[in-house]
Amino acid sequence: MPDLRRVLRVAIDSLYVSFKGSLGPATRARLKDLKELAQDKEPARRSLAQLEVGSRVFSVLGHGRGRVPFALDHPDFSLNVGSGQGYPLASVQISSEFLASVGPLNALEDVRYVVRSLAPIQDREAVSRVDLCVDFTPDRPFQLFPPEMWVTRAERITPYLKRSDLTGWSIGQGGDLSARLYDKICEIFDKSHKAHWFDLWLANGYEWADPVWRLEFQFRRPVLLELGTPTLLDVLEKQAGLWAYAMDWLSLRLPTADSNRSRWPVASTWAALAGVDWGSPPLVLKRQRSHGVGAFDRQSRQLLGLLTSYMGARGMTDLDEGISAFLDEFEELADSIGTTATAFVEARARLKGARFSRINNRRELGVDRASVQQGAQDYRRARDGEA
């Protein structure tokens, strides 16, 4: 039976909050102009759909999310902004990396600052979802667990498979309380590519080549209200209680002849996970404002793969020859569509820079609000077929 060798992280990994308030007409008009600018067919103009708030530059999307009209994105957190009439003023999803960098309270304070810049906030924030997680190293493979060892009030238990190998389970997916237990390293390499977690684990005793599994519980608003944790402060004060409740809702037990599975003895691994300490402040990552751009990140590897494929298809092995040939072909392509390679690349780099919040195009290009309003008016005329 697998045992718990080392706990590497105990933390809030996902946090969704909402705020009540009413969006004023001036701010609504400004967001509408930026949203329409984001719908422009020209990349150079779409790249100007940005909103600067304090030290952050948000990318304003050309569409809302669901029934909420405005969507603003930043690597630290994304906002869905509504009128406040029948919907929250703002619903915010805080990224797991930002939570790990600064902690939940500091992250929430930054979110409040941004939301207050849009409209006055009424009442305290409401937590609509929070995920509690524990990253740990087991002694022996979790693949040895037969599914009948799970005892839960949930109806659905779904395995994760990579080819024929079991990499985890999802329990109660879609419910107000759900759980996931999975091979975190496999998830990093196959899906999220968030290698920064290794830095945090190493600071807490991780050894290379050790397996790392994550157990996480997702609490949605209805169950948070039932458990008396409607705000972030409530969650932080009672997170040990939330964890204990979830570990009772789902358990891993050793089968016996008893027909009542809830009376089966709890597996030692589960007992160890149930007893993790939520009383001390979580270890946080050193703040890195790279927004996913490392010394040689995933994009760099993809670019290298594309370049070597381009060269191989043309029988080239010399790097300078390959780059020169590509640039010559690119100049011809740009000329055929009535532009230059330099202008083409700048427009699209500015657009991508806005999405990564790495380039403040409006500041660099000296674009004022009147220009944005004019751009939005031009877009509306073109959309409506006006001269």
The answer on pLDDT for 294 being more than 70 is no
* 341 in any annotated domain: yes
Please report which confidence band the pLDDT of residue 368 belongs to, taking 50, 70 and 90 as the band edges. Answer: low
Q: Which domain holds residue 169?
A: 4-15+125-274
The answer on pLDDT for 235 being more than 90 is yes
For residues 225 and 346, state if they share a domain. Answer: no
Please report which confidence band the pLDDT of residue 192 belongs to, taking 50, 70 and 90 as the band edges. Answer: confident
Please report which confidence band the pLDDT of residue 374 belongs to, taking 50, 70 and 90 as the band edges. Answer: low
Please report which confidence band the pLDDT of residue 337 belongs to, taking 50, 70 and 90 as the band edges. Answer: confident
What single DSSP character describes residue 189?
I
pLDDT digits (tens, 9 = 90+) for 39-54: 999 988 899 999 999 9
* 303 in any annotated domain: yes
User: What are the tokens at 294?
Assistant: 């490392």
* 224 in any annotated domain: yes
For residues 150 and 8, state if they share a domain. Answer: yes
For residues 237 and 144, state if they share a domain. Answer: yes
Q: Which helix (H) or strand (E) holds 80?
A: strand 77-81
Looking at the DSSP assignment, which residues form a beta bridge with residue 127?
17
The answer on pLDDT for 283 being more than 50 is no
* Per-residue pLDDT, 107: 97
What's the number of domains the chain is made of? 2
For residues 142 and 211, state if they share a domain. Answer: yes
For residues 261 and 147, state if they share a domain. Answer: yes
pLDDT digits (tens, 9 = 90+) for 165-183: 889 999 999 999 999 999 9
Residues 6+ apart with CB under 8 A from 277: 10
* 70 in any annotated domain: no
For residues 154 and 10, state if they share a domain. Answer: yes
Please answer whether residues 271 and 264 qualify as being in contact, where contact means their C-beta atoms are separated by less than 8 angstroms: no
* 99 in any annotated domain: no
For residues 252 and 337, state if they share a domain. Answer: no
pLDDT digits (tens, 9 = 90+) for 59-74: 999 999 988 999 999 9
Higher pLDDT, 86 or 14: 14
For residues 236 and 312, state if they share a domain. Answer: no
Q: Which residue has the tokens 């030290």?
A: 55
Gap between the Cα atoms of 331 and 372, Å rounded: 31
* 142 in any annotated domain: yes
Share of the chain above pLDDT 70, in %: 87
Please report which confidence band the pLDDT of residue 251 belongs to, taking 50, 70 and 90 as the band edges. Answer: very high
For residues 216 and 153, state if they share a domain. Answer: yes
For residues 186 and 131, state if they share a domain. Answer: yes
* Per-residue pLDDT, 344: 76
pTM above 0.85, yes or no: no
* 88 in any annotated domain: no
* 130 in any annotated domain: yes
Please answer whether residues 276 and 158 qualify as being in contact, where contact means their C-beta atoms are separated by less than 8 angstroms: no
For residues 207 and 346, state if they share a domain. Answer: no
The answer on pLDDT for 111 being more than 70 is yes
For residues 320 and 171, state if they share a domain. Answer: no
Across the range 309-337, mean pLDDT stands at 81
CA distances to 141, 217, 270, 277, 362 from 232, in Å: 35, 16, 27, 19, 35
